[in-house]
Each structure stands twice: as structure tokens, then as C-alpha cells.
Amino acid sequence: MYSNSDAGALLGLLIFWLAIFPIIAIIGYVVSALFIRKLLVLAGAQNPNLAWVPVFNGMLWAKLLDLNPWVYLIVVAGSGILSGIPVLGWIIALLPLALFILMVLRTNQKLGKDPVGWTIFGVLLSFIWMIVLLAQGGLSWRTGPQVLPAPFWHKWGAFFHDSTTWAGVPYQGYPIPQGPAAPPQAPPPAAPPQTPPPAV
């Protein structure tokens, strides 16, 4: 049986957690919004303040990484709705984690960071990773041939790649790979020279 002192300690711990959780959530929101805003500035977006819009800022972050922002929304919303399903819900709940790891990897590649060490850093210490990148100056955002295409680009093409066009957000993606180009056609044969008719 629990004594009154044990019950009081548990109640105090619960009250402390309920008081501290909103503060942690607000700090996390501010740090992540500032982080995404910096990425939008580096990428040349016209309105980086859109990073303050919850959920939509994650879609913008995904778009900067060559990932379809609607895929991001489906994963986040779908995992929240379906995570309560027994057994299957546990698997579905892992999808946002897998997506986040991929986004951290792509962010490090776009910033020219080591894709292994910085990705481990970003996954294990996410907010510290964001703060470190926020504090760093001289960062540049690499696109096109400056950075390798995302690993999902050529495998799952049309579903995962970013083909959306949003005003004010520069397109970051790569052309969808097409089939082999048709061989060049030989030019038509030249017309034979015409001889003038004989003079009468």
C-alpha cells in the first residue's frame, strides 16, 4: 500500500510535469520554426515567415528536401489517426520517425554536412542539432547537381518526389528520369541536283 507521503510525491511529480510540459512544447516549437525559417532563407524563399505556421512548416521543410510535402502530411496525419490500431498501430507510428531520419539526412546533405555523423547527431539530439545549425554562420543551401538526389528519387519517383509548385518557394527537385532517349534520326537524303533544260 502507498503511504500518504508516496501519494503526495507522485502528485507533486504530476503537477510539476503538467507545468513544465507546455514550456518544453513552446520552446520546441520556437526552435523548430526558427530552424525551418533559416532553411527557407538559405533556399531563397520569398516568405520565410511561413515557418511559423504549424504543420505547414513541416511541409515546407519536406519540399526543400525534394520530398513531396503531401507525403509528409499523409505520414504525420495518418500515423496520428491510425496509431491506435493494435499491433499495426505500432508499425504505423514508426513511419514519422523514419521520415524524420530521412529529412535530417537530406538537410545535412543540402547544407554540406557529413551525412553520417551529423545525421546521427540530428536524430539523437534533434533540438541541439537545430540550435547548432541556427548559430552557425556562412551556411549555404545546395541544390541540383551540387547535392546527390534523394535515395527515393529514382526508385519511387512520382509518389515521393516533389513536383509541386508553390509561389515563393524555389523548386528544389530533379527531373523525373525518363526512359532511354530515342536514337537521333538520320537526316533525309539530299535532293539530286537538277539539270537545266537544254536551250532551244
Report whether 166 contacts 195 (CB < 8 A).
no
Task: Say which DSSP state 161 is in.
Answer: B
Please state, in angstroms and rounded to a whole number, the distance separating the CA atoms of residues 135 and 133.
Answer: 5
Name the residue with cell 547548432. 132
The Cα–Cα gap between 119 and 107 comes to 9
Per-residue pLDDT tens listing for the chain (200 residues): 445 666 667 777 778 777 888 888 899 999 999 999 999 999 889 999 999 999 999 999 999 988 889 989 999 888 878 777 777 778 888 889 999 998 999 899 899 898 899 999 999 999 999 999 999 988 888 876 667 666 655 555 566 777 778 888 877 655 544 444 455 565 666 666 666 666 65
Is residue 166 within 8 A of residue 82, CB to CB? The reply is: no
Q: Which residues contact 105 (CB under 8 A, 6 or more apart)?
A: 115, 119
Cβ atoms 171, 196 nearer than 8 A: no
